[in-house]
Amino acid sequence: MTAAPSYQDPNLPVVLVIDDDPLISVVVRRAMDRIAHRMFSAHDGTSGIREVEQKRPDLIVLDNMLPDCIGIEVLSKIHHLAPNVPVIFVTARGSGSTAIEAMKLSAFDYLPKPLDPSKLRLQVERALSLRSLLQSTAALDSDCAPSLQPPLIETPEKPTSDALVGECPAMQHVFKAVGKVAMQSVPVLLRGEHGTGKEALAREIHRHSRFADGPFIKTFCPGRSDEQLKHELFGNADVPGNINFSTNGTLLLQEIGTLSLAAQGLLLQVLRDGSYTDPLSGESKPLPCRLMTTTTDDLEELVRKGEFRSDLYYLLTSFVITLPPLRQRHGDLPLLIARTLDKLSHIAAGFGIDYTRVSEDAMKVLCRHLWPGNIDELESVLKRAMVEQKGHILVADDMKRAMAEDPVVAMSGDTDDSTKFSTDWAVFAQMRIDSGTEDLHADAVEEMERKLFVRVLGHTGGNQAQAARLLGITRASLRKKLRQYGMSAQQLADSN
């Protein structure tokens, strides 16, 4: 069950690897080259718990998929047996929920397989330094008090699907942050572009928090007067407000950057005092809920302009999570597409289709797009394609037509006229490389031509003859290109 230790000195730190793959122990040992240590290994959860009790390790490397259970169950036992022992949690294909649960259970870090030796070595060094610090301030015997009998580990039920999915480093960082803050009561600010999933992120924090059994209440700030917002939040003598409705739950204030200075002052007072005046009773009461806020605005710029209070800004930014745009989530697009198709399966069911998937060529079309509208845009495109689908496989032409039906939204998102037809070519090239393209030049030409046709046909009001003259090509060539890209001259004209 155990491997030979690297060194025999009993004073050296002990590293325990719990993983049924023997190669992981080899990777860990190589990553720890020139770091003096003793290493042991266990190949399942039950023996891993036993090794924790017997060897009292200074560092544990724990896999999530074990023969007799999942690693989260083992991590929970370790958290109670040895709360001060750092655990590096690793998994071949972990979900966002797994990362969050790992961080909630105080895992030192969460690393995906295949393990990066340099990153693993860095985290090992940091973890051992932390362990040394903890040992200097607390008795080791209290860290790993042995129990009389190893705890029974049961294989849990299959977890439910996550509200958020992603395997790219940026999303793993988000999941770790959720795990750290979920059980706290501090305000959380969620930042990101439109359509990145800020509300879904807020719900994920709520789901993993101690308020999970309470309500989740939203207040959308834009477009409301100060009086309307005050009434919605606090209510009046006859009707309670959202603060009351969110008692023992979560209150989410969306687009906090749109608040007037007067409304900001009201919110600041509530956050500073931790209380509010209940209009139903006229009494001052403690804030009964957990507060989260979202923004797509540059709050720092608003503070510099005097449009957002700096004191409120610092209160709201005590803990910030930033969601990456879809164009920066390299490698996540196929995962998001599969999840979205499953989410929209009711559309396919209406046609008597059991499931829907995209062809390889359709996937290339989707991967060539920069998705300025992010996940919202992706869902919209797939929904349109499914409504028009002819079978359970969506092909490239289906994707092109669906994207062409709303070209300005699909290509510009919420940007202004000076940037809505531009392309970040560095991001474009990297996304294509990550998607495995072998025709990057053709991909770039198509991207350029699509944007160019949107601009020119918008200028000519859909007049193809005039557009062809401006482009210096024949009308027949223009029509051929439009058919190739699934674009409609009149739709392009109407959208400008």
Beta bridge partners, 96, equal none
pLDDT tens readout for residues 230-285: 889 988 878 888 998 999 999 999 999 999 999 999 999 999 988 888 877 788 88
- pLDDT value, residue 490: 60
CATH number of 182-322: 3.40.50.300
Q: Which ranges in the chain are annotated with CATH 1.10.8.60? A: 327-494
pLDDT of residue 146: 38
Q: Give me the pLDDT at residue 219, please.
A: 93
pLDDT at 152: 32
CB proximity list for 94: less than 8 A, separation 6 or greater: 64, 110, 112, 167
* pLDDT, averaged across the chain: 81
Q: Do residues 414 and 454 make contact, with C-beta atoms less than 8 angstroms apart?
A: no
Q: Residue 153's pLDDT band (boundaries 50, 70, 90)?
A: very low
- Short-list 382, 362, 378, 358, CA closest to 370: 378
* More confident of the two residues 80 and 436: 80
Cα(410)–Cα(162) distance, integer angstroms:
26
Q: What is the DSSP letter of 151?
A: P
Higher-confidence residue of 330 and 146: namely: 330
Contact 205, 182 (CB under 8 A): yes
Distance CA 49, CA 426 (A): 48
CA diameter of the chain: 86
Numbers of helices and strands, H then E, in the chain: 24, 14
Residue-wise pLDDT for 425-462, tens only, equals 766 676 667 556 667 787 788 778 877 887 888 788 88
Residue of 181, 186, 249 lying closest to 213 (CA atoms):
249
Asked whether the beta carbons of 175 and 110 are under 8 A apart, the reply is yes
What is the predicted pLDDT for the residue at 436? Answer: 61
What top-level class would CATH report for the domain 327-494?
mainly alpha
CATH 3.40.50.2300 occupies which residues in the chain? 14-143
Portion of the chain with pLDDT greater than 70, in percent: 82
Name the segment(s) of the chain with CATH classification 3.40.50.300. Answer: 182-322
pLDDT confidence bin for 345, thresholds 50/70/90: confident
Tens digits of per-residue pLDDT, 357-401? 888 888 888 888 888 889 989 999 999 888 887 678 888 888 888
The predicted structure's pLDDT at residue 253: 96
Fold that domain 14-143 belongs to in CATH: Rossmann fold (3.40.50)
pTM over cut 0.85? no
- d(CA 73, CA 75) in angstroms, rounded, equals 5
